[in-house]
Amino acid sequence: MLAPRRFYRQPTFWRFLTAAALILANVLVFRNELGYLWDLLWGNEITLPAEVQRDYQVILVLLLLSFIFFFLVYSFVVSQFVLPVSTLQERLQVVLRFALYLLGLHGPAITIREGKVVANPVEMQSILPGVAFVDLASAVGLERQWFPRDAFVALSRESRRPVIFPRLTLWFYLIGRRLYLRLFRRNWVQPPVTARAVGPGLVFTHFGERVKGTVNLRRQFRGQMVAGTMRDGFEVSSYVFVIFTVGEPPEVLLVASIAAGADNLRVVRLNDQNQIIELSDELDPDDRLEFDRWLQDPRWDDLDRIQIPSPYVFDERRAFRAVYGAARRADNDEIENWTDLPLKVATRLYHDMVGEQNYDVLYPREDNDPFEFFRVFRPRFSQRLRNQGVLALQYVRRRDGQPLAVGQTWNPDQLDIFRPHTLRTNKVLRDRGIRVIFAGAAELRPDERVLKQRFLRWKASHESRFDMDMAASDYNVLLIRARARAQAQEEIITLLNQILALNASRQEIAQRLFQVLETMAQEAETRKFLPSQTQAELSNIHRWLFEEK
């Protein structure tokens, strides 16, 4: 454990000693003038001549003016080292807040980190000018609240540092602020706004402003288990999730026309070889109509004005809409966070799409049928939720006037490519500046009893099919055996007729007949089916006919 430092090594000791030495030096140098001021304030009898009193008064006034002048000069010099400021206006703002701090009129010092407020809860209730540090991944919404001037006196009593003569101090602040605006801002004075959104960096809060809400510019992920009822009555559940953000530019989709009219606008899909693989009909009707009207008179779009710093994009309008577009809960009268809205929209869309489908269509019983859930339902769900957020369309057309087609090579030299157009049609997430990056739903899970019933039906179907296949196989085997038996009988009859036609003796006929039987028994296909006893009897007959004489 480190030993405590001695008192003369403490930084507070030297600050106190330096201040005390300066005060003592000023008292010693101006002891006569300060003594005159003391007698004047306490009503003591003053015996000094009138000329000396006037000299003392002039000296005291000059001291006060010199103190104010050098205080402002030193504050202006020190301001650029206290806070990260670079312009004249920012330095003046720091000087003003430094003076307010000395008067006890400082506002909150707030840090916005990862979209969360880090500040003293007592200071957050202050309406006095303050400062906020906003990191690169955050934005903050400020709201100006109008208070009567008597409220300033009440708030000053709740401050951590007491305010001397609060009413007089308030008047000095208002006069100084108006003088600052007249001298330094002149023609570019903007009227005070009721609400504003500010992005990363150093932010100066004005009188009456409080933090309304914050925005995290990073990508957000929300998900939950959702239950729904299908059109055929099946109750299913799935994990619905959505990835969204306010800190990225709108997704730009390439759009082409296959014919005249808004209904013929299609989204162009390319592969890695820059070939058109699909002209997809995935735009909402109102978005297609808006974009078709824009194509009649394409003007300069706001998307060109968005600056894209690294690593996140701050769009003041989108951040403002995200903060002030939050809804109020009906059950507890609390304001919801803007990050809760995309999941609510995804849940509602999931209920609507599930209610339009039959379970057997999404999950057919036949093995060779494609699953509509993976091929159609899930991609369509992601596209429809993406269309609810901020989106930009970029029109392309061939210079020869021919429509684009699947299989063509994407060659920008042969195409007219328009500037992107940001859609403005009112949508729930689009009105709040939220971009949906991806949305999805896990595989639908019905009740266990439904799964068991479907398994039994599948099992019965397969068993029935297996029985039919086995019956057909047995029938084919019997048919083959019958044909083989008939063919063998026919061959034997033919050979017997040939032997009988020779007019030989009985022994010769028996030998020839046995040779025919032995030849047939030696065939590989026939030998496999002959029992061993039959083969032994054939061997005995062979010895009896040919060897024993």
List the chain pLDDT tens, one digit each, 549 residues.
Answer: 456 667 667 767 777 888 788 888 888 888 888 887 777 777 777 777 888 888 888 888 888 888 888 887 887 888 778 888 888 888 888 888 887 777 777 788 899 998 899 888 888 888 888 899 999 899 999 988 766 555 554 454 445 444 444 555 555 566 666 655 555 554 444 556 788 999 898 999 888 888 888 999 999 999 999 998 888 788 888 999 999 999 999 999 999 998 888 899 999 999 988 899 999 999 999 999 999 999 887 765 555 444 445 577 888 899 999 988 877 777 777 778 899 999 999 999 999 998 888 877 766 655 545 557 788 889 999 999 999 999 999 999 999 888 999 989 898 889 999 989 999 999 999 999 999 999 999 888 887 776 676 667 767 766 777 778 888 887 887 888 778 777 777 777 777 677 666 666 666 667 666 777 767 666 666 666 667 777 677 677 766 666 654
**CA 439 to CA 378: how far, in whole Å?**
9
| Contacts for 12 with CB less than 8 Å, ≥ 6 apart | none
**CA 93 to CA 98: how far, in whole Å?**
9
Supply 69's token pair.
């002048």
Q: Domain spans of the chain?
A: 17-82, 83-216, 220-446, 457-547
Amino acid at 352: D
User: Residue 219's pLDDT is what?
Assistant: 93
| Contacts for 544 with CB less than 8 Å, ≥ 6 apart | none
Strands 209-216 and 130-134: unpaired
User: Residue 368's pLDDT is what?
Assistant: 47
User: Residue 188's pLDDT is what?
Assistant: 42
Supply 213's token pair.
């809400």
Residue among 124, 196, 206, 131 nearest 173 (CA) = 206
Could you report how far apart the first and last alpha carbons of the chain are, in Å?
124
Main-chain dihedrals φ then ψ at residue 388, nearest 5 degrees: -75, -20
User: Residue 429's pLDDT is what?
Assistant: 93
User: Residue 187's pLDDT is what?
Assistant: 44
